[in-house]
Amino acid sequence: MRDLIVQWLTEITAPFWQSSLSIDQFVTALEETLQMVFFALLFGCIWGFIQGITLVVTRNGGILQNRAIYYALNPIVNALRSIPFIILLIAVIPFTKFLVGTSIGTWAAIVPLTIYVGPYLGRLIETSLLEVNEGIIESAQAMGASPWQIVFKFIVPEARSSLILNLTTGTISLIGATAMAGAVGAGGIGDLAISYGYQRFDSSVVILTVIVLLLLVQFVQSFGEWLAKLR
């Protein structure tokens, strides 16, 4: 199926596509970008939900108030969020090598991408959960719901639309980060823009990269808004 798509794209772009970059290379780079986004978002969401829920329930006035946990976790989250991604990418190279055995390639990039997006999604999830009306929580407590029933059967469902919109925002930031990861050999569309567009002065590759990223972001944003409106 992939070969047929590549062949079709090559045929229809042949009259006007003048570049040393082949369509097959571009499709491969797009697959690498989508792979990085998918897995980093998956692991980041797991991290983010654990972090966000923990901060919400342990904060002052939370249903499982615990000052020790809250004031230990909160500064760590702030510290991770304060590091620019390109610096984080380099700083975690030893940890990346330990986990995946290399610091170059798509799978190696997923490690820093997860560390980057996890705390960010966690803050967005925390914000969404804190928007839930206190009256809903009080009603749940009055019905005898346990703390985890309150979280997963009352707070999270009530915050559904806000969670989806915030996760959409996080996904778009992650797409931008995958492009930056190309600067250190992570592969993907960002790597094409640097190795072909910048280093070989091929402006057509840069334009193509920008267009594809714009379309990808527009799709994610539109899909997120549509999903948030569903009931």
Contacts of 225 by beta carbon, 8 Å cutoff, 6+ apart: 165, 168
Q: Indicate the residue type of 216.
A: L
**Interval 177-202: pLDDT, tens:** 888 877 777 777 777 777 766 666 76
What is the pLDDT, as a whole number, of residue 104?
80
Q: Which domains does the chain have, with CATH numbers?
A: 29-230 (1.10.3720.10)
Q: Which pLDDT does position 1 carry in this prediction?
A: 61
Predicted pLDDT of residue 93: 86
For position 223, what pLDDT does the model report? 93
pLDDT < 50 regions, the chain: none
| Cα distance between residue 120 and residue 52, in whole Å | 10
Collapsing DSSP to helix, strand or coil, 11 comes out as helix
Q: At what angle do helices 67-82 and 23-58 cross, to 10 degrees?
A: 150
- Using CA of residue 85, residue 87, residue 89, residue 92, what is the dihedral sign? negative
CB 148 within 8 A of CB 92: no
pLDDT computed for residue 219 by the predictor: 93
